[in-house]
Amino acid sequence: RILQDGCKNIGGRRANKSFSIMSSEIDGGDGDGDDISPVTVILPEEEADITKLSVIHDDLTSELQRQFIRSINSSLSIRQLRSQGLSFQLWPAATTLVNLLDKQRSHPETNPLTPTLTALRNSSECRTLNILEIGSGTGLVGIAAAATLGAKVTVTDLSHVISNLQFNVEANADVVAANGGCVRAASLHWGEPIDAELIGQEFDLILASDVVYHDHLYDPLIQTLRSFLLDGGNPKMVLLMAHLRRWKKDSAFLKKARKFFEVDVLHTDPPAPGSRIGVVVYRFAAKQSKKPAIVSAKRG
Ligand SMILES: C[S@@+](CC[C@H](N)C(=O)[O-])C[C@H]1O[C@@H](n2cnc3c(N)ncnc32)[C@H](O)[C@@H]1O
């Protein structure tokens, strides 16, 4: 289900939504809770690129993270609900992609994403990139992509994650629109048939961060990627996937993926303190067919 198509408002002014949390939004009630505005009340002046604050409300801790995106001189605000599970928090690979997108906008000449983005823009009919994010979680990556690339983005996840995703989409709609982008949220379950009418198929780019973790999800994830990258409407579509390897078995996913896709490493982050491995950004593209070129025989 698509909750709100923010993309209809591309370029236009949106109503100035207050970034407030109704208790009902968190506990699933139906709307009588107190209205609080944690962003306006609590957010301190910016000292670093990331500012965090926690609000305890109805026994749930909702954490608002404000991430400053230098290239657009604006902050994005993301609500995390850590106690609700892994889909409601920001994972390390997301931060890597957001930083790369930010730097790509300000310094495209040295950025590892630039060749891919330039090629996609050149082949895209309208130059506005149409992007799908899968396993979006909080949606920060998709929202940052919309803002930094001026792109039309669909952020997706399992159905129960959509209300928080939608919250974050709406909270950042003004910043995104001011930079020529738009975001909408929709549910997309890996391995299940894709409702092409609802989601669309003709994307230029798929984004994903930290989506490889449980091995029972490898096959459904690859199935969904095949549907878009191999059977979708755009043969030039690529996936940029940021991944922090945690288990040896993660390599089984890449091995399976290489059967269907060309997989290249575009970027590797230095390991975080105390870690041996950094986040890696992969580019997946449909395998070029190995059919021999037809050479016309010379007459004579
Ligand atoms: C580890 S989290 C990463 C979230 C986010 N991309 C980030 O980096 O912060 C993995 C995400 O994949 C989603 N996910 C897991 N299984 C899924 C499935 N079968 N279909 C769609 N999304 C799924 C989860 O709900 C979760 O949001």
Atom index in ligand 1 nearest the CA of residue 137 equals 27
The tens digit of pLDDT for each residue in 24-56 reads: 233 233 222 333 222 322 233 333 455 665 555
Ligand 1: which of 84, 87, 192 to mutate, most ligand atoms within 8 Å of CB? 87
Q: Is it the case that residue 79 has pLDDT exceeding 60?
A: yes
Map out the domains of the chain with their CATH numbers. Answer: 6-13+86-286 (3.40.50.150)
Pocket of ligand 1 (CB under 6 A): 86-87, 90-91, 93-94, 135-138, 157-158, 161, 189-190, 209-211, 213, 217, 220
Average pLDDT, integer, range 162-181: 97
Q: Is it the case that residue 9 has pLDDT exceeding 50?
A: no
Average pLDDT, integer, range 263-289: 92
Q: How far is the CA of 110 from the centre of ligand 1 (A)?
A: 30
In this predicted structure, what is the pLDDT of residue 61? 59
In this predicted structure, what is the pLDDT of residue 53? 58
Cite the beta strand spans of 21-170 per DSSP E: 21-22, 35-36, 50-57, 60-69, 74-80, 130-133, 152-157
Percent of the chain with pLDDT over 90: 60
The tens digit of pLDDT for each residue in 204-237 reads: 999 999 999 999 999 999 999 999 999 887 889 9
Atom index in ligand 1 nearest the CA of residue 191 equals 19
The pTM of the full predicted model, rounded to 2 decimals, is: 0.82
Average pLDDT, integer, range 48-66: 62
Atom index in ligand 1 nearest the CA of residue 242 equals 8
Atom index in ligand 1 nearest the CA of residue 189 equals 20
Q: How far is the CA of 211 from the centre of ligand 1 (A)?
A: 5
Q: Is it the case that residue 156 has pLDDT exceeding 80?
A: yes
Q: Is it the case that residue 5 has pLDDT exceeding 80?
A: no
**Residue 240: in which H helix or E strand, if any?**
strand 238-243
Both tokens assigned to 225:
């990627």
**CA-nearest residue, atom 5 of ligand 1:** 137
**CA-nearest residue, atom 14 of ligand 1:** 135
Average pLDDT, integer, range 280-291: 86
Q: Taking all residues of the chain, what is their mean pLDDT, rounded to a whole number?
A: 81
Atom index in ligand 1 nearest the CA of residue 211 equals 10
Average pLDDT, integer, range 107-114: 96
